Copies of this chain bind each other. A is one copy, B any other.
Amino acid sequence: MVKQMKEKLIIGDDLGGTTTKLAVLKQTGEIINKWEIPTDVSSEGRNIICDIAKSINQKIVELDITNGDILGIGLGAPGPVNLENGVIYEAVNLGWQDKYPLQQLLEEATAISTIIDNDANCAALGEMWKGAGNGAKDLICITLGTGVGGGIIANGDIIHGINGAGGEIGHVTSVSVGGAPCNCGKTGCLETIASATGIVRLARGKLQNRQVDSKLHHSLIHKGKITAKDVFDAASEGDLIANDVVNEVAKYLGLALANVATIFNPEKIVLGGGVSKAGDTLLKPVKEYFEKFVFNRVAQSTKLTIATLGNDAGVVGAAWLVLKK
């Protein structure tokens, strides 16, 4: 069936530190097949390219098509990328040495033309193309997961910056004095507050410091841990400490988004990642702080919304790279 299609297909690849998501897409952005493989970070990540290439080759056989039916591979990588030569500057989570020639190696292993970009940028492109962005040419996408990633599209193009570090909204300094340490080496980054990890850290701190009865205490005692989801669940049921945590997260996230929006005046700011699944429990207070802190003309025109593509945003945006190329 696929073989009879005249239009070439695209392969989208979202390379993560634990799992690599892959998809075969039409040029309309429609996913016709998607799958996942584990990312093998042993041996300094030497098997990663091979595993991806093998998996793509198997899928091509399985779909009864040939390399000639593929327009190209787009890949989102977890680190800053040099667009001109397809090198990933650093990829701490994968074990690769600095300036790893990712694009070239994947092209050699698959014999298919390949293009790469940063994963948060791909998520933003995915949401722009087929998700909550709805074609907006000025769009910011924030991924609230284990960390906080950002992708910024202005005038229809991704902001990469001079050293591949454009869009690092997670490392905006939110707490200038006495902030928590961040993995990046600084303190007080937005990521230390608005990531799943940051939310749990805030909740643990407040549980220690306040002797109010809270569902979160029970979670901690019964499960031995709490998650960001526990915090949002408890908050939506009126738990005092949980609401206190959500309010603090919303205050710093609302302020950071207001400042980013005041600088860009994008059409939309799209919140994605696991933490965004809290929906209105998070979005409502974030909107209140956003409106308080944002420049008036921006408040009139920039909309805050939740991502709609979920885990597919990365592969869809990676596929878009191939079309844009």
Contacts and interface: CB of A to CB of B under 8 A. Distances in A.
B258 A173 contact: yes
A44 interface: no
Nearest to A188: B293
Contact of A263 (B155, B169, B298): B169
A186 interface: yes
A263 B168 contact: yes
Nearest to A157: B155
Nearest to A265: B161
Contacts of A262: 165, 168-169, 171-173
A169 B160 CA distance: 20
A274 interface: no
Copies in the complex: 2
Given A138-B161, A159-B155, A255-B173, A297 B263 contact: no
Given A154-B154, A159-B154, A159-B264, A165 B259 contact: no
A68 interface: no
Contact of A293 (B167, B173, B264): B173
B162 A295 contact: no
A36 B164 CA distance: 42
Which of A160, A266, A293: most chain B Cβ within 10 A?
A293
Which of A155, A264, A267: most chain B Cβ within 10 A?
A264
23 contacts: A154-B155, A154-B159, A154-B166, A155-B155, A159-B263, A159-B264, A161-B265, A161-B298, A161-B301, A163-B298, A163-B300, A164-B297, A165-B295, A165-B298, A166-B263, A168-B295, A171-B262, A172-B262, A173-B259, A176-B255, A185-B296, A186-B293, A186-B296
Closest 5 CB pairs of A and B: A161-B265, A163-B301, A165-B297, A165-B265, A171-B295
